[in-house]
């Protein structure tokens, strides 16, 4: 990402100590300046469709509930029964 002469405008924000620590940690992990991490996060946020982070998570996937056929009708309430042995070698 990096600084470009096309980026002329500057904005100042105040961050909590916790948020600043998280920002610094991510910048170190990525070996990028803070500003690059902030620009990437802001771009990702602004690219989301309007309302994408509002409401409950179930509201975003409600149309998928029950979309897979052939599963036990009580899978959600009896998952231990139906998933017992999952991952075990036969």
Q: What is the pLDDT of residues 18-76, one digit of tens each?
A: 999 999 999 999 999 999 999 999 999 999 988 888 888 888 788 888 788 888 888 88
Of 46, 24, 49, 47, which is closest to residue 37 (Cα–Cα)?
Answer: 24
* Domain locations in the chain as residue ranges: 17-83
The maximal CA–CA distance of the chain, rounded, in angstroms, is: 62
The residue ranking higher by pLDDT, 39 or 87, is: 39
- Report the SS3 class of residue 7: coil
The residue ranking higher by pLDDT, 89 or 11, is: 11
- Exposed/middle/buried for residue 35 (C-beta within 10 Å: 0-12, 13-18, 19+): middle
Residue 2: per-residue pLDDT: 58
Burial 4-34 (b: 16+ CB within 10 A, else e): eeeeeeeeeeeeeeeeeeeeeebbeeeebee
Residue 43: per-residue pLDDT: 96
């Amino acid at each position: 990402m990096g600084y470009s002469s096309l980026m002329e405008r500057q904005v100042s924000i105040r961050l909590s100590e916790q948020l600043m620590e998280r920002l610094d940690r991510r910048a170190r992990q990525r070996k990028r300046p803070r500003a690059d991490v902030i620009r990437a996060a802001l771009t990702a946020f602004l690219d989301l469709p309007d309302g994408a982070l509002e409401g409950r998570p179930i509201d975003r996937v409600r149309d998928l509930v029950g979309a897979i056929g052939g599963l036990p009708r009580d899978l959600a309430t009896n998952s231990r029964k139906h998933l017992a042995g999952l991952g075990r070698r036969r």
